[in-house]
C-alpha cells in the first residue's frame, strides 16, 4: 500500500515538482495541496497541469494558480458514512481524510479499500495459546502463519480494508514479537498503540486501560479469528438498530433425527418430525458505543460476556449480528490445519 503522504504537496511548490510527483503516482495521479500546517487547500491532477500549460503557465510557476479549490474530502470520525458510500458509488476513487482542524491525516483509495468506518479497533492478543503448543512455545499465537501471513495480520488487513485506521493491541505473552512485527503502523497508513497486560485481564478487561479513543464507536475482537465479515454492513446494522452493543454470532444448526414431542404433565400437545433448531454462538467480535466502556471495572479480569450481562441488566440495547459468511476460531491444532486449507478456497 502506498504511503498516503505521497499524495501530498505543499502550497507554493512548483508545477515541475508536481509533475514529478504525479509521474511517480502513475495510475493514482492526484495530489492534495496542503499549507504549512498540513491543512487541505486544494487538489491537482494531470488534467489541471495540461490545462494550465495550454493557458501559458510555466513549469517553474507555483501550483497555486492551477489547483482545484474546495476538493471533495472525508471528515475523520463522522458518524454518518453515507457520504463515504455516496463518493464510492459515484466513482470518486481517491479522497483525502481531514481531521477536525482540516489537517490531512490520510488518503483513501477505493480501488484498495471498501469503506472508511469511524471506529477504533482493539485486538486482544495477549493469550498464551496453550492448546496450540508446541507451535506457541516460541511464537505468540497471533503471529502463527495462515497461508502467507500471520493470523492477526489477516484481521488487521481486513479491518484496514474497511478504512479502520486506529488500532489498539492488547498484548502479554511474547508481546514484544507482536510489537516488533507491526510497529506503530505508519507503513500501513495506520496508527497502532499497545496495551500491556501485566496479568491476564480476560477477553475485554484490558480495554479499561485505554483512555484516548479517537471515535465514538469501538470494535473489540479476538486476535485468533479468521473471517470475511463485512464490517461496513456490521456497522450499518448497528446504527440502524440504534444499539449500544452488538456481538457477531455464528449460526449453529442442530438436527434432531427423531420426532420431538411437546408435553404438559405427560400429555402430548404437539410434535415436530425430525426438526432442525438454530442456535447462535458468540463469534468474539463486538461493536459498541464508547460510553458503554464506562461499565468496565478498572484493570480487573473481565470478559466480554460479563459486559454483555451488565448492559442487559442496565437495560441497554444489546443485539446479535448473525454472520452469514466465513468464520473460524483457531484454537486447536485441527482448527489451525483447517485454516491452512480454507485460506486457499474462501474469498476474503
Per-residue pLDDT tens digits for 89-143: 999 999 999 999 999 999 999 999 999 999 999 999 999 899 999 999 999 999 9
Residue 102 DSSP symbol: S
The answer on 129 and 92 residing in a single domain is: no
The answer on 205 and 282 residing in a single domain is: yes
The pLDDT of residue 97 is 96
The answer on 132 and 151 residing in a single domain is: yes
The answer on 182 and 53 residing in a single domain is: no
191 pLDDT band, cuts 50/70/90, is: very high
CATH of the domain at 264: 3.90.550.10
The answer on 148 and 204 residing in a single domain is: yes
Closest CA to 246 of 258, 261, 229: 229
Report yes or no: 126 and 206 within 8 Å, Cβ to Cβ.
Answer: yes
Asked, for residue 262, whether it belongs to a domain, the answer is: yes
Tell which of 51, 86, 109 closes a domain: 109
Q: Which three cell numbers stand for residue 30?
A: 492526484
What span, in angstroms and rounded, lies between the C-alpha atoms of 167 and 181? Answer: 14
What span, in angstroms and rounded, lies between the C-alpha atoms of 289 and 317? Answer: 11
Write down the mean pLDDT value for the chain: 94
226 pLDDT band, cuts 50/70/90, is: very high
Bond into 83 cis (ω within 30): no
Report yes or no: 12 and 34 within 8 Å, Cβ to Cβ.
Answer: no
Single pTM value for the model: 0.91
Q: Is the pLDDT at 261 greater than 80, yes or no?
A: yes
Asked, for residue 114, whether it belongs to a domain, the answer is: no
The answer on 259 and 201 residing in a single domain is: yes
Tell which of 76, 109, 142 closes a domain: 109
pLDDT digits (tens, 9 = 90+) for 289-329: 999 999 999 989 999 999 999 999 999 999 999 999 999 99
Asked, for residue 290, whether it belongs to a domain, the answer is: yes
Report yes or no: 51 and 66 within 8 Å, Cβ to Cβ.
Answer: yes
The answer on 62 and 163 residing in a single domain is: no
The answer on 166 and 78 residing in a single domain is: no
Bond into 97 cis (ω within 30): no
Average pLDDT over residues 230-259: 94
Asked, for residue 47, whether it belongs to a domain, the answer is: yes
216 pLDDT band, cuts 50/70/90, is: very high
347 pLDDT band, cuts 50/70/90, is: confident
Q: Is the pLDDT at 1 greater than 80, yes or no?
A: no
CA angle 54, 55, 56 (to 5 degrees): 90
Unique residue bearing C-alpha cell 489498539: 168
How far is C-alpha 337 from the chain's CA centre? Answer: 26
Asked, for residue 136, whether it belongs to a domain, the answer is: yes
The answer on 123 and 103 residing in a single domain is: no
Q: Which three cell numbers stand for residue 205?
A: 478487561
What are the backbone dihedrals phi and psi of residue 268, each rounded to the nearest 5 degrees, phi first? -75, 120
Three-state secondary structure call for residue 85: helix
Q: Number of structural domains, the chain? A: 2
Residue 83 DSSP symbol: H
The pLDDT of residue 299 is 85
The pLDDT of residue 109 is 95
Average pLDDT over residues 283-287: 97
The pLDDT of residue 275 is 86
Residue 23 DSSP symbol: H
Query: Residue 161's domain spans which residues?
Result: 119-345
Asked, for residue 152, whether it belongs to a domain, the answer is: yes
CATH of the domain at 12: 3.10.580.10
The answer on 189 and 61 residing in a single domain is: no
What span, in angstroms and rounded, lies between the C-alpha atoms of 106 and 75? Answer: 10
Report yes or no: 30 and 44 within 8 Å, Cβ to Cβ.
Answer: yes
The pLDDT of residue 308 is 97
The answer on 213 and 194 residing in a single domain is: yes
pLDDT digits (tens, 9 = 90+) for 70-81: 899 999 998 889
Q: CB neighbours (10 Å) of residue 9?
A: 23
The answer on 205 and 341 residing in a single domain is: yes
Asked, for residue 204, whether it belongs to a domain, the answer is: yes
The pLDDT of residue 254 is 87
Tell which of 109, 142, 170 closes a domain: 109
Asked, for residue 296, whether it belongs to a domain, the answer is: yes
Amino acid at each position: 500500500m502506498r504511503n498516503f503522504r505521497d499524495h501530498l504537496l505543499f502550497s507554493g511548490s512548483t508545477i515541475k515538482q508536481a509533475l514529478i510527483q504525479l509521474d511517480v503516482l502513475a495510475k493514482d495521479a492526484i495530489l492534495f495541496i496542503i499549507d504549512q500546517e498540513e491543512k487541505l487547500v486544494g487538489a491537482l491532477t494531470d488534467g489541471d497541469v495540461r490545462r494550465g500549460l495550454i493557458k501559458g503557465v510555466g513549469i517553474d510557476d507555483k501550483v497555486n494558480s492551477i489547483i482545484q479549490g474546495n476538493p471533495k474530502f472525508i471528515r475523520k470520525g463522522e458518524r454518518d458514512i453515507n457520504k463515504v458510500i455516496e463518493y464510492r458509488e459515484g466513482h470518486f476513487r481517491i479522497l483525502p481524510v481531514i481531521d477536525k482542524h482540516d489537517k490531512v491525516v490520510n488518503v483513501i483509495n477505493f480501488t484498495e479499500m471498501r469503506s472508511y468506518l469511524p471506529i477504533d479497533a482493539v485486538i486482544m492478543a495477549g493469550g498464551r495459546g496453550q492448546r496450540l503448543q508446541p507451535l506457541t512455545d516460541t511464537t505468540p499465537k497471533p503471529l502463527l502463519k495462515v497461508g502467507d501471513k500471520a493470523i492477526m495480520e489477516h484481521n488487521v488487513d481486513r479491518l484496514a480494508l474497511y478504512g479502520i485506521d486506529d488500532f489498539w493491541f492488547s498484548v502479554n505473552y511474547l508481546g514484544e514479537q507482536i510489537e516488533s512485527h507491526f510497529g506503530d503502523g505508519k507503513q500501513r497508513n495506520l496508527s497502532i498503540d499497545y496495551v500491556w497486560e501485566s496479568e491476564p485481564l480476560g477477553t475485554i478487561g484490558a480495554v479499561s486501560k485505554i483512555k484516548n479513543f479517537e471515535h465514538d464507536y469501538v470494535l473489540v475482537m479476538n486476535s485468533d479469528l479468521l473471517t470475511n465479515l463485512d464490517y461496513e454492513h456490521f456497522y450499518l446494522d448497528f446504527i440502524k438498530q440504534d444499539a449500544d452493543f452488538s456481538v457477531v454470532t455464528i449460526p449453529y444448526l442442530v438436527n434432531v433425527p427423531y420426532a420431538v414431542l411437546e408435553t404438559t404433565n405427560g400429555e402430548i400437545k404437539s410434535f415436530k418430525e425430525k426438526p432442525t433448531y438454530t442456535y447462535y454462538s458468540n463469534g468474539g467480535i463486538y461493536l459498541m458505543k464508547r460510553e458503554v466502556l464506562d461499565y468496565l471495572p478498572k484493570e480487573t479480569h473481565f470478559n466480554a460476556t460479563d459486559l454483555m450481562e451488565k448492559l442487559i441488566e442496565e437495560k441497554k440495547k444489546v443485539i446479535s449480528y448473525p454472520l452469514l459468511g466465513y468464520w473460524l476460531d483457531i484454537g486447536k491444532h485441527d482448527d489451525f490445519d483447517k485454516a491452512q486449507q480454507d485460506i486457499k478456497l474462501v474469498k476474503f
